[in-house]
Structure 1
Amino acid sequence: MSRRIAWPRARARSPRGRRTRRGAWARRSPITRPRKNACSSRAQSSRRCARRAGASSRRSSGWRKGCGALARLARLLRIFRIGLRFGLLEFVPRFSGSRLIGLLARRRDEPRGQRLRQALETLGPIYVKFGQVLSTRRDLLPLDIADELAKLQDRVPPFSSELAVAEIERSLGKRIDELFSAFEQTPVASASIAQVHLATLKDGREVAVKVLRPGVERAVARDLELIDTGASLVERLWPDGRRLRPREVVAEFAHHLDEELDLMREAANASQLRRNFERSPLLCVPEVYWDLCSQRVMVMERMRGTPISQVRLLRDKGINIPALARAGVEVFFTQVFRDGFFHADMHPGNILVADDGRYIALDFGIMGTLTERDKNYLAQNFLAFFNRDYRRVAQAHLEAGWVPAETRLDAFESAIRAVCEPVFARPLKEIYFGKLLLRLFQTSRRFNVEIQPQLVMLQKTLLNIEGLGRELDPDLDLWLTAKPYLERWMREQLGWRGFARALRQEAPLWAATLPQIPRLVHRALAEDRLGALHETLERLADENARRNDLLAAFVVIVFAGLLGLVIALL
């Protein structure tokens, strides 16, 4: 059954692409079509539309990729232009000393570290944070550059309070007036990642509200891509680039940023540290309000205190400054050796002092962790250093796996002695142990030591604590303060109490494993039966061959002896 279809008399193109007269295609086409082809025609039309849509989508995607590539190129050109302006080509050996730098650099007369710092400040907040991370890698950088980068301040203009309120409402699912009875529109602190507003809960508790900057994840990903590209170029263009491992530093920086971009993780860090020092007379940590936290918003207890850098104001409040300095050292060693979990960003901007003399810790985005093995060998190293037992220091490094197993112990001991003896010739109160660790890191590079990231964070934190303690009390003797704590900790770890504690910790594992031992032994024997039989046969064959060899040798010797005897008789 078919029906007649009156095709429109429209201007059409021939199969060869030439325009035909009106209605020509219709006359050449069949006048009748089967009904079943109507669906086929619609399907073909749909496929044609889909192909056109796909082509359009590909063109749009290609356009977006092209725009993204152009944007990256523009950012790279901007970085290159700023690098030229501050004479940073000096850091690339093949350009060092070139007349090109003298022609293009405007501030060639300033020290190189200062020029690098100014360039990072010009590039923006993400590069400032990268410079801050670089400043902690004193095992990699020249000291003049590391000292200058340590001056970088992560200060950026705040974003609008309307955006902050919108982010809080979106993340927590309620209007701002339903969450807080009061919310201060002006932030009290602003950085490249987030800013902090003060507020009051409905029950009257005062809180601090930390909000991530809008679009910060996209900006971080974009800038990290460029920084990683720059690190790759450093490895290729700089002969010493591979040793400095710039891409490893970038990966470490990306890890820190990833932790700071997740406020739930920071809230968990704060909660853990608060639990560790719950009844401590030394350290106070704000309470986290979990019902008001998300990945982009964190609400915690508002802490009131005096910035630790304002020493005169602390004295006016009756705070015992020397005792405060000693307490800082004890807080550090307690975090490291008792808990294995320490605040790794303890610069003065993150520390307040309560009116009762306790430390108040802020900003928990960067934390360090140590295993039991790391803590044990670290304590042994500390004690051996100050006892000038350099062989024990070298042995501890080898036992911890911090030094390649093929390292000669006497050569490593000699290198450590050359570093430490000039330092220990001075009075102990003048020794900066963080700087001593730094020199040891630099020496260890000669022995292909892989410096563990947690040890680098520990060294950076120790430098901060030492510097802070010496600012509070120039006569602070770090070793005299820390040694009793370390010795007590070592006695607890290596004595009977430590052994009993280790047994208690392992008891549940052994309780679950012991009943399974017969079954596991039976399975192992069954699985290894053929292998054992094969080994036995090989051993018997070897013994048989060895006996045959001995027998042949014996026969030869006897035959030679008999032959010699016969010759002698003749």
Structure 2
Amino acid sequence: MRHIGRLVFICVTVARHGLDELALTSFRQRWVRALVRVLTIGRSLDQPRGVRLRQGLERLGPIFVKFGQVLSTRRDLLPPDYAEELAKLQDRVPPFPAAQSRALVEKAFGRPIDEIFASFDAEPVASASIAQVHFATLKDGREVAVKVLRPRMLEVIDDDLALMRTLAGWIERLSTDGRRLKPREVVAEFDTYLHDELDLVREAANAAQLRRNMEGLRLVMVPEMIWDLCTQNVIVMERMKGVPISQTERLRAAGVDIPKLARDGVTIFFTQVFRDGFFHADMHPGNIQVSVDPATFGRYIALDFGIVGTLTEFDKEYLAQNFIAFFRRDYKRVAELHVESGWVPRETRVDALEGAIRAVCEPHFDRPLKDISLGQVLLRLFQASRRFNVEIQPQLVLLQKTLLNVEGLGRQLDPELDLWTTAKPFLERWMHEQIGWRGMVERLKNEAPRYAQLLPELPRLVHRALQRDSSPDRQLLQAILEEQRRGNRLLLALAAGVGGFAAGAMLVLALLRWHG
């Protein structure tokens, strides 16, 4: 019953912005179509449907705004006009009272705020749907930023998520097209994403990891977390001073090299993705500043680490092989990789998928590189893959969304930015490390301890397997033999390395003797 008031407000907002028409036009039941005609009698809807959807979500409040932001990353599921409008959603949320913010900080740390900080600014410097940020000074004089979670967020989120799950269930039961959009899966993904963002300690840990990863690059600064003052609801971090990256005229007046800044942004992103497999996945202009301090002049300042992306070794290998195939225009291999990875049904015709991929990619290769949008190529690939029921992997969707952000930001700074040329050295180095000699040597190093333990046991395991006749044990035997083959390859490689070392040593001794 406590959801009824909220449900009435949602229904009124849906009707006012014509979202009922958007939601119900795909239903084929006669009574649903009749309901649409009744609801739209005498109503004038001048705005495009994507604009009305964005405005309706903004009116429904911060949780629905967040949902629209997450939904905008699933461009594989949405019509293009919806995706473009949802990408414009921003957190425009009034701050909660200063007294309430102080009370939340004191509750989180269990002591008066004056015992923690020498000063605490009552007015927040930033306010979003999940949290707001205040500047403060510690007792030792360090300037810090204090991020405070909004009160009662968990209760509000759970209420709205319950309504979303109900609505998603209705859509899946009543609409064929709705089932293709997988609304319950999208809501579940949003649920996980929101609850992760509610834990500020997770965000602090993300920031600490990025800070370690980026230490040697000297292109980006990540605030240091004050771990003694980090809780689930409040975190305290080093205060960063910079100019918002969207204020290009101010940066240019300060002497910042704007084209270099654009190239550095691409360098930072591809380093995080291809070297570390751990990347800041919310790189919109509101979360990026530029330092104008003489000691760190021109460096990026990254903020807000609630959303990060990760790539497994399998993801990296898949991407490496895809990039190689794309550079060689081997579209058949790209299609085969999709089938082999299980991203499309096994019965998919490789030649049909190959033709769809060729139609997307081929027009771009004969154009100047500076006129090619890698983000748009990926976007069109996602759209073309719909009719083949491609299972889009969430981590790669997040990567594509972030790539679009980085590319858009880079071109905003420098319209002549050549994304592919800037990224190419990283791609080549990474692919060499993945599938070249360096990659093989690295994998041998990683696998050596495991094989050192396994190899002495192999004869006994093989003998035990040979004494059994059941099918599961034959499968076990096959697995063991495969391990033995891998072990043999390892030993051959190690033997080759030892042999090369011995030959080198003998050559050095011979030279020394000859010289003597």
Measured against the shorter chain, the TM-score band is: 0.7 to 0.9
Quote the Cα distance in structure 1 between the aligned partners of 2:303 and 2:223. 8
Aligned equivalent of 2:38: 100
Distance in 2 between residues matched to 1:461 and 1:284, nearest whole Å: 19
The 10-residue stretch of structure 1 (329-338 or 395-404) with the greater mean CA deviation from structure 2: 395-404
Alpha-carbon distance in 1 for matches of 2:254, 2:322: 39
Residue of structure 2 in register with 1:280 after alignment: 217
Matched, 1:341 2:278: yes
Please say which of residues 255-264 and 429-438 is displaced more in the overlay. Answer: 429-438
Q: Does 1:116 align with 2:53?
A: yes
Classify 1:423/1:233 alpha carbon distance in 2 versus 1 (closer, same or farther; 3 Å).
Answer: farther
Kindly state the Cα deviation for residue 529 of structure 1 after the two structures are TM-superposed: 5.8
Asked if the contact 2:433–2:439 (Cα under 8 Å) also holds between the matched residues in 1, the reply is: yes
Alignment of 1:167-566 (within 5 A): 167-355=104-292, 356-521=297-462, 523-525=464-466, 528=468
Instruction: Give 1:532 shift.
Output: 11
Where does residue 82 of structure 1 map in the other structure? 13
Shift of 1:370: 0.6
Q: Report SS of the residue matched to 2:176.
A: coil
What displacement does 1:515 show?
4.1
| CA RMSD after TM alignment | 2.1
Distance 1:532 1:456, change over 3 A: closer
Q: Which amino acid aligns with 2:300?
A: Y
Q: Residue 331 of structure 2 aligns to which amino acid in structure 1?
A: Y
CA distance in 1, matches of 2:349, 2:176: 27
Hey, what's the Cα distance between the residues in 1 that align with 2:12 and 2:66? 20
Q: 1:166 to 1:515 in 2, by over 3 A?
A: farther
Separation (CA, whole Å) in 2 of partners of 1:500 and 1:282? 30
Unpaired segments ≥5 residues, structure 1: 1-69, 535-570
Verify the 8 A CA contact 2:320 2:434 in the aligned structure 1: no
Distance 1:297 1:509 in 2: 42
1:55 alignment counterpart: none
State how far apart, in whole Å, the 2-side matches of 1:90 and 1:102 are: 7
SS in structure 2 of the partner of residue 484 of structure 1: helix
Structure 2 runs not aligned, ≥5 long: 475-516
Aligned CA distance change for structure 1 residues 104 and 175 (closer, same or farther; 3 Å): farther
Displacement, 1:196? 0.6
Whether the aligned pair in 2 keeps the contact of 1:383 and 1:483 (CA below 8 Å) is: no
- Secondary structure of the 1:71 match is coil
Distance 1:520 1:157 in 2: 67
CA distance 1:533–1:410, shift in 2 (3 Å)? closer
The corresponding residue for 1:58 is none
- Which shifted more, 185-194 or 500-509? 500-509
Q: CA offset at residue 286 of structure 1?
A: 0.7
Tell me by how many angstroms 1:231 deviates.
Answer: 1.6
Partner Cα separation in structure 1 for residue 150 and residue 71 of structure 2: 23
Larger deviation, residues 384-393 vs 466-475: 384-393
What SS is found at the alignment partner of 1:292?
A: strand
The one-letter code matched in structure 1 to 2:376 is K
Q: Which has the larger radius of gyration?
A: 1
Question: Separation in 2 of the partners of 1:531 and 1:145?
Answer: 53
Residue aligned with 1:380, SS: helix
Count, aligned residues: 463
CA distance in 1, matches of 2:195, 2:428: 37
Name the CA shift for 1:532/1:221 in 2 (closer, same or farther; >3 Å). Answer: closer
| Partner AA of 1:371 in structure 2 | T
Aligned to 1:31: none
Per-residue CA deviations over 1:153-200 (Å, capped at 9, x if unaligned) read: 112111122222222122222221111111111111111111111111
Q: Secondary structure at the match of 1:309?
A: coil
Report how far residue 77 of structure 1 moved: 2.2
Q: Secondary structure at the match of 1:291?
A: strand
Matches within 5 A, 1:15-30: none
Q: Secondary structure at the match of 2:321?
A: helix
Partner of 2:490: none
Q: 1:309 to 1:386 in 2, by over 3 A?
A: farther
Cα deviation, residue 148, structure 1: 1.3
One-letter identity of the residue aligned with 2:342: G
Aligned pairs (5 A) from 1:136-151? 136-151=73-88
Cα offsets for 1:406-437 (capped at 9, x unmatched): 33222211111112223445332122111211
Distance in structure 2 (CA, Å) of the matches to 1:190 and 1:531: 62
1:158 has 2:113 as partner: no
Q: What's the CA shift for 1:274?
A: 0.6
Percent identity, aligned pairs only, is 65
The structure whose RCO (Cα within 8 Å, separation 6+) is larger is: 2
Query: What amino acid does structure 2 have at the position aligned with 1:163?
Result: Q
Aligned counterparts, 1:51-70, within 5 A: 70=1
> How many Å separate the matches in 2 of 1:474 and 1:306?
21
Distance 1:142 1:529, change over 3 A: closer
State whether residues 373 and 400 of structure 1, in contact with CA within 8 Å, keep that contact through their aligned partners in structure 2: no
TM-score (norm 1): 0.78
| Whole-angstrom CA distance in 2 between matches of 1:393 and 1:511 | 37
Q: CA deviation at 1:363?
A: 0.6
Residues 333-355 of structure 1 deviation map (CA, whole Å, 9 limit, x = unaligned): 11111111111111110111112
One-letter amino acid of the structure 2 residue matched with residue 88 of structure 1: L
Distance in 1 between residues matched to 2:137 and 2:256, nearest whole Å: 29
Q: Residue 203 and residue 531 in structure 1: after superposition, are their counterparts in 2 closer, same or farther (change >3 A)?
A: closer
The CA deviation at 1:533 is 13
